[in-house]
Chain A
Amino acid sequence: MKKLLIVLSAWMMLLPAGLTAKETFGFVDLGNNFRNTDAKNASPFLKFRDKNSTVKGDAAVSVYEPGRYFDVLFSDIAQDTAEYGLSGGKYEKYSYKFGYNGIVNNSTFGARTPYALRGTTLVYGVGSGSGSGNSKNTDLDNWGTIDYSKENKNLYADVKYKLNENMYFGLDANKVASSGIAPRYRYGYQVIDEDTTNVALEGGFKSDIFFASLKGTLSKFEQNITTYKAYAEGINVDAYGTGKQGSYQLVNDPSNDSLTVELSSALYNLPLSTTVALNVTRTSSTSESNMSDGQPPGGYANYGAGTAPNPNLIAALLTGSGGDALATYKGDHTYLTGNVIVKSNPISSLNTTLYYKYLDKKNESTHFYSSAKGESENFAYDKKNMGLDVDYKLPLSTKISAGYGQLKIKREDRGDAAKTDDKVISVGLRNDALDFISGGEKYTNTKRESTMGDAATEGSGPTDSAYIERFNRRFDDTDKKEKRLTATADLAILSDLDVTLEYSSVKNDYDKTTIGRLSDDRSIIFGQVDYALFSWMNISAFYEREKVQYLSKQRAMGTGAGFSYDPGAAATATTYNYDITYDDKVATYGAALTMKFMDEKLKTTLGYEKQDGDGNLNNAIQAGGSTTEGQPISDFGDYVLTRIKARFDYEISRDVSAGLRYTYERSRWEDSMWKVQTDGSSYTYDSAYADVNYVAQEIFASASYRF
């Protein structure tokens, strides 16, 4: 990073000498943030910002000479979110850009953890307290705290060159270094240390009648910490009375390579004003790792006093399907896709689009078998999507549209839906006849037929756990009837008053599902008003209400007499069906007022925004089932987020201006999931993602110079 800054600084020092008397424009902005304590400690408020930096500086220079240009853009200088970019080129000949940018994603500040990091080993033993059996220390006051945050540092270069009017090629490359800490498995955490390198090379030809391009992209993901050890030691060992807690290894996402070759082509100006477009890609993704990753040397013999070695973790059990011992896992996915689109205008009022899209995902990864964990599943599928869309223009600026499409998917290794067949019909209407109002609507109906695979015959009988698979259907691939409606209207009631109205609704009925999601219903109403009240005043307001409702049927499995995986069996106090209704309403609304004073030298913007979410969960337990469970939860993700923003920009002279911004953000969550610290048995929650209650205030003062 420092080297880069030195190079860039040197470049900038040299540039003026080489660019004397060229046209030069640019700006320098400098500012400083002042935040209250809540603002500093709330990760949602600083979600994509450098939490440690309050100084903000942006600067840019654009230089022109006949036929050439050169731009320098620096933003968030010296912050984790900095961007240092250089770009330039010769018009209609070549262009280049390269530089660096950083992205920060702050997930949680001050999450609790009983772990500490020693090298790449997580050591359980922060703080002190009491526990019993295998339970962890529930004395949260004695836990440590940790910030969950990820940072990407991206170095990039992009060059495009036109050999002549028709031919071009380009090179695009970047390297992303990711680091940080993420929550992992209850209250543990994971150190992120990953690198991704991408290189793409493209060449092509484009004329009035023909286009073709070939692009190859190589992407390499490197996991720098393949496995790491979480070791529970030390803390109140005697109090646990179980001896030394066992260690276990966590396995991270594997390094992988991906190679994509893409061919695109198009033919234009064919008879009937037809364009034919083609795109074919082949992507191969591979990974290689040890089968024994995750198994500590010597197995789990000391996983807990009196506990037998965990048979699941014995390497010898992991054998190939042919019975031979496996040392290495080789992941191998290949995606072959093909899209063909034929678009025509046989007559001026008629548009037709015929399409065929194909995807074949092959999975030739190592197929392994473990006597304890069963057989690995290599999911693969092929999709065929074809259809025809037609638009026809009627008098009075009216357009009608209709479409029919079919999507067929065949899946390997997915017993609940080996095949699905979607038939999609759509109709639409749009009218723009009047100057002050235009709008349209579109209705889409989807009917999916799903064919079960092995799941239809799973389980030897109602007491076999696999038997439930005969009834358990998944909403992403089961039979369904979907109705989708969208409607929009744009009104220009007065010359300076614009109104936008939008409505959308999606309803799914999973009509052949016994256990699983039975239906879902989502609707959104949106409206926005923009009004230029005077030449110096603008007011805008918006409102959106999103409402969702899901209904699903579940089955609680108990023990004893009447125990059955058959949802049709009579209910007992511990084995029964129940319906869950989850509904959620989110209203988002706000207003902004922009005013200009003093011959537009002073510009002020005042903004208000509020989000109000209300989630509810209700259970209806089958008659004869539990009488103690299934109480309604009224605060299932309730939240209120309020934002107030004020901004003042004053133009001191033609080149110099000053700005002042104030931001107030109040966030309040009422969520049953965060109200508990322990579940009453052995788990304690770490508060990852839970720093959502805050009242943040921030003042940002800046000065700007333009030249």
Chain B
Amino acid sequence: MEFVRKWFLLLPMVLLLLCYCNFSAAADPAAAPALPGIAAKCNECHELAVSRFEGSHHAKAWVGSDRTCTNCHGNADTHMSAGDGKNIISFKTKDKELREGLAAQCLTCHNTTAHLAMWNIGDHKKNGVTCVDCHNIHVPATQRIPTSETCLKCHKQVENDLRKQSHHPILEGKVGCKDCHNPHGTTNKHQLKAPTTNLLCYKCHTNKRGPFKWEHPPVEEDCLICHNAHGSRNDRLLKKKLPSLCIDCHANRSGSGTVFGHEDGLNTYSAGRGCAGCHSKLHGDNNAAKGKTFVY
């Protein structure tokens, strides 16, 4: 029944979308703007690059303007006359000194772009990352890959954390790297989008914001004392398995079975969810009568 219900909803929407096909087919190729002079010249040798570029966001934005290949690649006169593939700004260059100038080339247009305001002080610039390491200018807009996929090409250990059993749904596409980080730079550590870890986490986990009647000190100070933000082999992104994490601070206990590995078996502290089984309000408790126990 579920199968029928979902398809019943899905199919009409898909059929509606298919209506676009006719309009797409109706578009007159002849109506496409002719390549500006220099681009036509470039097209003689770089047909694939030019044709791909035509589908890109840049090309769409430049329709009607006089901007063309040389705005990014620089003056091509010497390049064309020599015909040796040199004397042109190539964004694929592996020359380290030339690479350092590539971002400046982009910034000739994007120097008033607000989200690049902190680029100069960001970690990516500091570590030699340049615009085209992440952005492919010639890729048609319809073929762009998700931002997180781009990030994980370099941040491979983060990708591995995201494969672990407890993780933020980044590989699943429900949360993106840029939800927490600004790859273009911020004044904060790890290019975070908030001045402290907690203030960042509270943006989504608003229920943890409190303020609670009873507060748990490490929770108030830094979520990362207990959690790995990207992923963990332990439940709930915890850095260390419960109850071991808790007892590192709460290091004295009383009663039989205090020590894990009691001959009668595991006890309340160390079975099931560990301490969190009973202390389920350990992020903060709004029950004044319960005191600092964080139970219930």
Known: A52-B2, A253-B210, A474-B249. A28 touches B257 (CB 8 A): no
Q: Is the CB of A287 within 8 A of B27?
A: no
Which residues of chain B are within 8 angstroms of A584 by Cβ–Cβ distance? 233, 241
Cβ of B93 under 8 Å from chain A? no
Considering the complex, give the chain A residue whose CB is closest to the CB of B250.
Answer: A472
Which residues of chain B are within 8 angstroms of A75 by Cβ–Cβ distance? 173
Segment among B68-76, B80-88, B129-137, B281-289 that sits at the interface with chain A: B281-289
The interface bits of chain A over 685-701 (1 if a CB of B lies within 8 angstroms of the residue's CB, else 0) are: 11111101000000000
Q: Is the CB of B252 within 8 A of A9?
A: no
Cβ of A295 under 8 Å from chain B? yes
Kindly state the separation between the CA atoms of A255 and B288 in the bound complex, as whole angstroms. Answer: 16
Cβ of A168 under 8 Å from chain B? yes
Considering the complex, give the chain A residue whose CB is closest to the CB of B189.
Answer: A357
Cβ of A439 under 8 Å from chain B? no
Cβ of A12 under 8 Å from chain B? yes
Kindly state the separation between the CA atoms of A374 and B163 in the bound complex, as whole angstroms. Answer: 44
Known: A213-B114, A341-B187. A24 touches B163 (CB 8 A): no
Q: Is the CB of A609 within 8 A of B163?
A: yes
Q: Is the interface of A mostly helix, strand, loop or mixed?
A: strand
Cβ of B247 under 8 Å from chain A? yes
Give residues 566-587 of A contacting B (CB, 8 Å).
578, 580, 582, 584, 586
Cβ of A674 under 8 Å from chain B? yes
Q: How many residues of A contact B (CB 8 A)?
A: 199
Q: How far in angstroms is the closest Cβ of chain B from A437?
A: 13
Segment among A123-131, A276-284, A593-601 that sits at the interface with chain B: A276-284
Q: Is the CB of A254 within 8 A of B210?
A: yes
Q: How far in angstroms is the closest Cβ of chain A from B45?
A: 22
Partner of B286 from A254, A275, A411 at Cβ < 8 Å: A254
Which residues of chain B are within 8 angstroms of A476 by Cβ–Cβ distance? 218, 221-222, 225, 249
Segment among A15-23, A138-146, A234-242 that sits at the interface with chain B: A15-23
Q: How far in angstroms is the closest Cβ of chain A from B232?
A: 10
Q: Is the CB of B249 within 8 A of A475?
A: yes
Partner of B249 from A67, A105, A357, A516 at Cβ < 8 Å: A516
Considering the complex, give the chain A residue whose CB is closest to the CB of B226.
Answer: A476
Partner of A553 from B217, B251, B267 at Cβ < 8 Å: B251
Q: Is the CB of B20 within 8 A of A552?
A: no
Partner of B114 from A105, A206, A690 at Cβ < 8 Å: A206
Q: How far in angstroms is the closest Cβ of chain A from B109?
A: 9
Partner of A207 from B112, B126, B247, B266 at Cβ < 8 Å: B112
Q: How far in angstroms is the closest Cβ of chain A from B106?
A: 14
Q: Is the CB of B61 within 8 A of A92?
A: yes
Partner of B121 from A27, A79, A277, A676 at Cβ < 8 Å: A277
Which residues of chain B are within 8 angstroms of A373 by Cβ–Cβ distance? 288-292
Q: Is the CB of A633 within 8 A of B211?
A: no
Kindly state the separation between the CA atoms of A22 and B208 in the bound complex, as whole angstroms. Answer: 48
Most buried by A among B94, B233, B281, B292: B233
The interface bits of chain A over 642-675 (1 if a CB of B lies within 8 angstroms of the residue's CB, else 0) are: 0000000000000000000000000000001111
Kindly state the separation between the CA atoms of A439 and B281 in the bound complex, as whole angstroms. Answer: 46
The interface bits of chain A over 190-215 (1 if a CB of B lies within 8 angstroms of the residue's CB, else 0) are: 00001010100000101110010100
Cβ of A256 under 8 Å from chain B? yes
Q: Is the CB of A256 within 8 A of B210?
A: yes
Partner of B221 from A66, A381, A558, A679 at Cβ < 8 Å: A381
Which residues of chain B are within 8 angstroms of A329 by Cβ–Cβ distance? 213, 286, 288
Q: Is the CB of B244 within 8 A of A528?
A: no
Q: Is the CB of A283 within 8 A of B251?
A: no
Which residues of chain B are within 8 angstroms of A103 by Cβ–Cβ distance? 169, 174-175
Q: Is the CB of B289 within 8 A of A679?
A: no
Which residues of chain A are within 8 angstroms of B266 by Cβ–Cβ distance? 672-673, 675-676, 679
Partner of A526 from B160, B175, B284 at Cβ < 8 Å: B160
Kindly state the separation between the CA atoms of A268 and B214 in the bound complex, as whole angstroms. Answer: 46
Kindly state the separation between the CA atoms of A456 and B24 in the bound complex, as whole angstroms. Answer: 76
Most buried by B among A91, A253, A500, A626: A253
Q: How far in angstroms is the closest Cβ of chain A from B67?
A: 11
Q: Is the CB of A24 within 8 A of B290?
A: no
Give residues 500-559 of A contacting B (CB, 8 Å).
500, 502, 504, 515-517, 524, 526, 528, 542, 544, 548, 550, 552-558
Q: Is the CB of A515 within 8 A of B251?
A: yes
Kindly state the separation between the CA atoms of A680 and B292 in the bound complex, as whole angstroms. Answer: 27
Cβ of A53 under 8 Å from chain B? yes
Give residues 470-487 of A contacting B (CB, 8 Å).
472, 474-476
Q: Is the CB of A275 within 8 A of B121?
A: yes
In this complex, the interface size class of chain B, counting residues with CB under 8 Å from chain A, is 35 or more
Kindly state the separation between the CA atoms of A55 and B3 in the bound complex, as whole angstroms. Answer: 7
Kindly state the separation between the CA atoms of A285 and B198 in the bound complex, as whole angstroms. Answer: 12
Cβ of A38 under 8 Å from chain B? no
Partner of A377 from B20, B202, B215 at Cβ < 8 Å: B215
Cβ of A251 under 8 Å from chain B? yes
Kindly state the separation between the CA atoms of A312 and B264 in the bound complex, as whole angstroms. Answer: 32
Which residues of chain A are within 8 angstroms of B254 by Cβ–Cβ distance? 556-558
Q: How far in angstroms is the closest Cβ of chain B from A7?
A: 13
Which residues of chain A are within 8 angstroms of B126 by Cβ–Cβ distance? 351, 353, 391
Known: A183-B273, A185-B278. A472 touches B202 (CB 8 A): no
Kindly state the separation between the CA atoms of A72 and B254 in the bound complex, as whole angstroms. Answer: 61
Q: Is the CB of B241 within 8 A of A615?
A: yes
Q: Is the CB of B286 within 8 A of A12?
A: no
Partner of A256 from B211, B259, B280 at Cβ < 8 Å: B211
Q: Is the CB of A22 within 8 A of B23?
A: yes
Kindly state the separation between the CA atoms of A223 and B209 in the bound complex, as whole angstroms. Answer: 12
Q: Is the CB of B234 within 8 A of A502?
A: no
Q: How far in angstroms is the closest Cβ of chain A from B151?
A: 15
Kindly state the separation between the CA atoms of A548 and B248 in the bound complex, as whole angstroms. Answer: 15
Cβ of B156 under 8 Å from chain A? yes
Kindly state the separation between the CA atoms of A639 and B233 in the bound complex, as whole angstroms. Answer: 9
Q: Is the CB of A57 within 8 A of B259?
A: no
Partner of A81 from B27, B55, B174, B270 at Cβ < 8 Å: B174
Cβ of B21 under 8 Å from chain A? yes
Which residues of chain B are within 8 angstroms of A558 by Cβ–Cβ distance? 254
Known: A24-B23, A258-B209. A550 touches B262 (CB 8 A): no
Kindly state the separation between the CA atoms of A159 and B186 in the bound complex, as whole angstroms. Answer: 22
Cβ of A449 under 8 Å from chain B? no
Which residues of chain A are within 8 angstroms of B247 by Cβ–Cβ distance? 552, 554, 580
Which residues of chain A are within 8 angstroms of B16 by Cβ–Cβ distance? 9, 12-13
Kindly state the separation between the CA atoms of A98 and B227 in the bound complex, as whole angstroms. Answer: 32
Partner of A378 from B94, B199, B215, B261 at Cβ < 8 Å: B215
The 5 closest A-B pairs by CB, nearest first: A331-B211, A373-B291, A685-B272, A294-B287, A91-B61
Other than the given A617-B261, A679-B268, 17 more pairs (CB < 8 A) read A78-B9, A185-B296, A213-B114, A251-B296, A287-B210, A293-B288, A329-B288, A343-B121, A373-B292, A411-B217, A578-B259, A619-B260, A628-B263, A629-B259, A631-B263, A679-B271, A687-B272
- Subset of 25 A-B contacts with CB under 8 Å: A21-B31, A27-B142, A28-B14, A28-B18, A48-B169, A52-B2, A60-B142, A61-B17, A62-B142, A67-B64, A91-B60, A185-B280, A250-B287, A286-B211, A287-B212, A293-B288, A357-B195, A397-B96, A414-B217, A504-B157, A578-B259, A629-B261, A639-B233, A673-B270, A679-B257
